Structure 1
Amino acid sequence: MSATTSRTDGAHVSVRKNRRDGSTQLHRSRRQPANQSPAWKTFNKIWTILPPFALGILILLAWYAATVSGRINPFILPPPSAVFSSLVDGLTSGLYWEHILTTVQESLLGFLLGVILALPLGYSVAKSRLLANMLQPYLSAGQAIPAIVLAPFLFLWFGLGVVPVMIVCMLVVLFPMIVNTVLGVQTIERELLDAARLEGASGLSLLTYIEFPLALPSVLAAIRTGLTLSITGALVGEFFCSPDRGLGALVLIALHQYNMAFMFATVIILAVLAALYYSATWLLVRLAEVIY
């Protein structure tokens, strides 16, 4: 092993040790005392899970109370029973599954394309002042323009199908991911980078062993945000570029039929899908904590 590689590995070990020490202190500060009883630990777990369920129950009760009196027109706010019945019918008949798979395919492809473009571009912008000055106005303008404005252009250029929807998803997730990546790279302490260079790290080794692990929390935040937003991008794209496929198409069909129960049921499917995406990113964060 060369001296340069050895010094680089030493810097890598030092950075990992610092990250783990900081993480350990953070976890210790969040943990309860080690002498907790099993009953107290069980209570803490229940208390962590209880608030979301309690809020959901309160929302359902308020929804039921608002509709059971009959003062609100069902075309405006359908009762929970009608929404649940429509949801069950759609799932058992197989209506939802094909459209769910279409939306998942479009959102994941758009998200992956966004990751491929955003991470290298964000790193380049963070490291190059010239590139940052060149692209910053366009990135700001891209964030300011809603995807719903860009979707008709993509429809005219690419027609109907998966491709324009995938591009809309990519545009929705691209700019937040670039911003988070730039922030993660720029907030790395210069002293750590200088120390790594003294140990022999440079170029690809500096990126692999030093910059990437230190910027990883921001990169993971970008990925979590982007994956969740990809559902929004898929819906917007389907409204214009795929009116007969995907969950966005079902929302349009329900709107045209004035079927509010069906529309609410489709929105519930979208919420569950977004929650599954967010849970997947939570597992990714846990995996990264184990590796790094």
Structure 2
Amino acid sequence: MSVTTSGTDSAQIHVRKNRYGGSTQVADGQGQPAKKRSAWKTLNKLWALLPPFALGALLLLAWYAATATGRINAFVLPAPAAVFASLVDGLTTGLYWEHILITVQESLLGFLLGVVVALPLGYGVAKSRLLANMLQPYLSAGQAIPAIVLAPFLFLWFNMGLLPVMIVCMLVVLFPMVINTVFGVQTIERELLDAARLEGAAGLSLLTHIEFPLALPSVLAAIRTGLTLSITGALVGEFFCSPDKGLGALILIALHQYNMPFMFATVIILAVLAALYYSATWLLVRLAEAVY
């Protein structure tokens, strides 16, 4: 909704109704041109990218300086040129692509399994005191036990393959997703829920139209955390349950061969993959903001 008013000068004020019922004034013309504000926002975004790139350049320079003197053994810290050569060789020969696809499949399937379990479980724990008292000790105990300890049991029970890796991945992402979901549901103001019930909202309609939109920021935080952690779960699962497939298998191969450039290159691939996952969740947040 917009209302345009004009005075004797050429300045125009657009009053737009925001999502909470208030209004925001946006000045055009002589007040503050929209093009200037848009250019300023773009400049601020570009400026925000400078610190991480600067830090990365400093770390790379320090890495090069530490290895150029030859005082550090290459088996401990390989030179950046050797790591880059190993990375390029793995990408051009197709070695990395096959294992990247396997790790991505395992992590995404484990993450989706975690979402299917964690979101309803978190909602149930937040809404039911009985369920909370029943499950919270086990959730805390499960978080206290590292997934790397549970992976050998899953290997013995399910043998090697995709299923045990998915379960390990699900266990890694489960607890933080449940906790974030519980927090999001429990922080909804009771007055809003009471007002919605007075208007006739109940059951599924209350969940979809009131509770879910209000808890959505915490749910999205849970999803962002879980998706990034899913790579860790996939790697832990590959170490024990799939030692010949995935990026975790390449790390084990590099370790057994004492091939440090190859190991560093694989870690770089994992870092890029984690950054892509996090970027995907950022797009998901923007989509949710546009919808709700």
TM-score, normalisation: structure 2: 0.88
Distance in 2 between the 1:162 and 1:216 partners? 31
Alignment of 1:43-192 (within 5 A): 43-192=43-192
Distance in 2 between the 1:71 and 1:105 partners? 41
* 1:250 alignment counterpart: 250
Distance in 2 between the 1:38 and 1:73 partners? 51
* 2:4 alignment counterpart: none
Task: From the superposition, tell whether residues 77 and 222 of structure 1 become closer, same or farther in structure 2 (CA, over 3 Å).
Answer: same
Aligned to 2:19, the other structure's residue is in SS state helix
Say what the alpha-carbon RMSD is for the aligned residues: 2.0
Distance in 2 between the 1:278 and 1:38 partners? 26
Seq. identity, %: 83
Amino acid at match of 2:290: V
Structure showing greater radius of gyration is 2
Give per-residue Cα distances to partners, 1:219-243, cap 9 Å, x unaligned. Answer: 0000000000000000000000111
Distance in 2 between the 1:115 and 1:51 partners? 34
Distance in 2 between the 1:218 and 1:38 partners? 30
Distance in 1 between the 2:22 and 2:81 partners? 47
Alignment of 1:223-262 (within 5 A): 223-262=223-262
Amino acid at match of 1:279: S
Task: From the superposition, tell whether residues 209 and 45 of structure 1 become closer, same or farther in structure 2 (CA, over 3 Å).
Answer: same
Ranked by relative contact order (alpha carbons within 8 Å, sequence separation 6 or more), the top structure is 1
Aligned to 1:181, the other structure's residue is in SS state helix
Displacement of 1:182: 0.4
Task: From the superposition, tell whether residues 34 and 225 of structure 1 become closer, same or farther in structure 2 (CA, over 3 Å).
Answer: farther
* 2:266 alignment counterpart: 266
Distance in 1 between the 2:22 and 2:223 partners? 20
Distance in 1 between the 2:21 and 2:280 partners? 25
Structure 1 unaligned runs (5+)? 1-17
TM-score, normalisation: structure 1: 0.88
Task: From the superposition, tell whether residues 41 and 122 of structure 1 become closer, same or farther in structure 2 (CA, over 3 Å).
Answer: closer
Amino acid at match of 1:88: V
Distance in 1 between the 2:19 and 2:169 partners? 35
Displacement of 1:38: 6.5
Distance in 2 between the 1:34 and 1:141 partners? 57
Give per-residue Cα distances to partners, 1:77-106, cap 9 Å, x unaligned. Answer: 000000000000000000001100000000
Distance in 1 between the 2:257 and 2:199 partners? 68
Amino acid at match of 1:190: R
Alignment of 1:16-27 (within 5 A): 20-21=19-20
Give per-residue Cα distances to partners, 1:80-138, cap 9 Å, x unaligned. Answer: 00000000000000000110000000000000000000000100010000000000100
Displacement of 1:199: 0.6
Distance in 2 between the 1:209 and 1:153 partners? 42
Distance in 2 between the 1:212 and 1:140 partners? 25
Distance in 1 between the 2:185 and 2:113 partners? 21
Amino acid at match of 2:87: L
Displacement of 1:22: 9.0
- Return structure 1 stretches of 4+ with deviation > 3 angstroms: 22-25, 33-43
Amino acid at match of 2:150: L
Displacement of 1:24: 8.7
Task: From the superposition, tell whether residues 38 and 160 of structure 1 become closer, same or farther in structure 2 (CA, over 3 Å).
Answer: closer
